[in-house]
Amino acid sequence: MKESRNQNSIGTASLRQVHVVCGVFSRTTAAGVFEVALFRRNDEYGRFEFPGGKVDPGETEPQALVRELKEELNLDVELAGFLGENTHDYATVRIFLRAYWVRAADWTGLHLTDHSEWRWASANEAGDLAEADVPLWELIFQKGARPKVEVAP
């Protein structure tokens, strides 16, 4: 299911193509509020995002996502279902992003390497979200996408 495609860039044929996967952790609070985990990048943009990274040659999307979340968050995760996809054009790169619900049985080892902070966010708390992740946020909070099972402790 393709949820969004940004085609506003001029000269998109020359853009470098990057295949990226991201993981979405979620929980429902005791008050019944659905939340997802957002992570702020340690880069010049400093935007919040769903963590993940590039799919390396010969790697499946699940393999790449498990590897990336171990590298970036020091968490062992399992996939809990496909969420959606988005294609987004930045100035020099076209991102083909596929998102999965993920869960980590144990958060005690959480260590941020590519991010400066993280937080749980509900529908009205997106903040400064990376542009490529906005359609995924909308899929979750405007269209009601939910994992089949609870994916956070």
Pairing of strands 26-28, 34-41: antiparallel
Ordered structural domains, the chain, with CATH: 2-141 (3.90.79.10)
On whether the CB atoms of residues 37 and 117 are closer than 8 A, the answer is no
Give the pLDDT confidence score for residue 151 in this predicted structure: 53
Low-confidence stretches of the chain (pLDDT < 50) are 1-10
From CA 106, how far away is CA 141, in angstroms rounded? 26
pTM over 0.85: yes
Give the pLDDT confidence score for residue 2 in this predicted structure: 43
